Structure 1
């Protein structure tokens, strides 16, 4: 049975829309675990009455993304889940989302799979996977590489985000869970999928499966829209900072080839120190 783990902190409207979209799935062979990390907007109570089919795990706050999804994954593994999907609450799943994900999971039972992401407001593709070079620090977006007629089926990528990430239970039993100790919020998903790829588990973006997202609702997008000295400090040092220097250092040490590491670190620091104001 597929288990879907959704970490939430407030934003009840997003959570309700996400869960409503899961109710409309053509395939209902799944269960949902919501991890409510200290919401103050009545999320847990509203879900208990409005979505009784959803299991809600409550925490007092401070888990952030990684520890929250790990809490849900541990529960799912106890319930003998296979596979497990991590899903953000600011997503909407088209009716065939689960059916398509499970179809391709049966074809590639050892693979980690992620969907093609579409902007919920425009229905235009916003994320279709990336190929990353640790030598040059260059990212090649598949949406820029693939011709329109080739945007179908599975395409190998370097890593995947946690939005709609489907993971065979075997991967968790082999590698353990997301690295909540060193990567409490950002980069834990990229780290985990990179580790899985190097351990021999294929990592694909699935162009046959779409997920609607809200790019402007992310914490990074909000911080960049309100550029300030305080925002810059949060960007570089806050747990939820997209350019957090410590998190980047830990990710680099874990994932960059040793010969590339010094240059990769210097390049990455420069991008984070300057990029906040340039992009």
Structure 2
């Protein structure tokens, strides 16, 4: 059985679309749990009406991603009595999947177990750019190698021809198949230090350290709505907006979260954090100069 836990908040169109895709899955051994963290757009009512088989848990808006995931996982563990051979699938709602998606994840697990299986991300918009296909991480110095770019030139067709499975240093929560024994080994997501961003990164690295390889399945594709993510620091922004992003919960450059990550995972934690922040600030300044320079010229 695969228990699919989906945190949602005020994105009813994405949520309903995701549930519609899950309903079409060829794999029938599944149960969907939607954790609606304080939506005000009618998400809970619409899901209950259109998908009566879906379990809906509600929060007050303070759970964020990690808290919502843990809420759903605790419900599965406490109320649904999962077997040791069952799985939790961490999934976001801002995606589309093909009918064989769940089956492909299970096939990947059976070929590589024990492991955690991650999904490939492809932009839902043509030309369907490959966005994620595994990462190489340096935990001494802050460097993440995005293999979608460096190895596969943003081409899913190239990836498929190269290998059915890849061993990654980390996995995102957008389609992460987790066998139940992982939770016994390392616990749930660390919602105290990683409320939203980096909770999935932290969890997957902790699992890898505990002896669970992280396998990316080339055939398991989530088609991602890239415009639906949180703060996008690659887009032009004012100095004030960038400064706010350094402390915003939904921001990938939240300095408190990155500090916690450095302390937990790097052997040179303070150096790692300092270099990480220099990299983030330097990248912003370079992008800022590129925007301002043509105007000044």
Band of TM-score, shorter chain: over 0.9
TM-score, normalised by the number of residues in structure 1: 0.93
Write the distance in 1 (CA, Å) between the matches of 2:226 and 2:96.
12
Cα deviation for residue 263 of structure 1 reads: 2.5
TM-score, normalised by the number of residues in structure 2: 0.88
Cα deviation for residue 62 of structure 1 reads: 1.1
Write the distance in 2 (CA, Å) between the matches of 1:217 and 1:277.
25
Write the distance in 1 (CA, Å) between the matches of 2:16 and 2:244.
29
Are 1:109 and 1:168, in contact at CA under 8 Å, matched by a contact in 2?
no
Gaps of 5+ in 2: 288-297
Write the distance in 2 (CA, Å) between the matches of 1:217 and 1:276.
21
Secondary structure of residue in 2 paired with 1:237:
coil
Write the distance in 2 (CA, Å) between the matches of 1:63 and 1:163.
17
Write the distance in 2 (CA, Å) between the matches of 1:80 and 1:101.
22
Cα deviation for residue 232 of structure 1 reads: 1.4
Write the distance in 1 (CA, Å) between the matches of 2:285 and 2:20.
38
Where do 1:75-154 residues align within 5 Å? 75-78=75-78, 79-81=80-82, 82-122=86-126, 123-143=128-148, 144-145=150-151, 148=158, 150-154=161-165
Q: Which moved more, 1:261-270 or 1:241-250?
A: 261-270
Where do 1:16-55 residues align within 5 Å? 16-55=16-55
Number of matched pairs? 276
1:266 equivalent in alignment to 2:271: no
Secondary structure of residue in 1 paired with 2:107:
helix
Cα deviation for residue 12 of structure 1 reads: 0.3
Write the distance in 1 (CA, Å) between the matches of 2:103 and 2:236.
39
Cα deviation for residue 94 of structure 1 reads: 0.9
Question: Aligned Cα RMSD in Å?
Answer: 1.7
Write the distance in 2 (CA, Å) between the matches of 1:226 and 1:15.
29
Cα deviation for residue 13 of structure 1 reads: 0.3
Are 1:152 and 1:208, in contact at CA under 8 Å, matched by a contact in 2?
no
Are 2:262 and 2:270, in contact at CA under 8 Å, matched by a contact in 1?
no
In the alignment, which of 141, 155, 158 is matched to residue 166 of structure 2? 155
1:189 equivalent in alignment to 2:200: yes
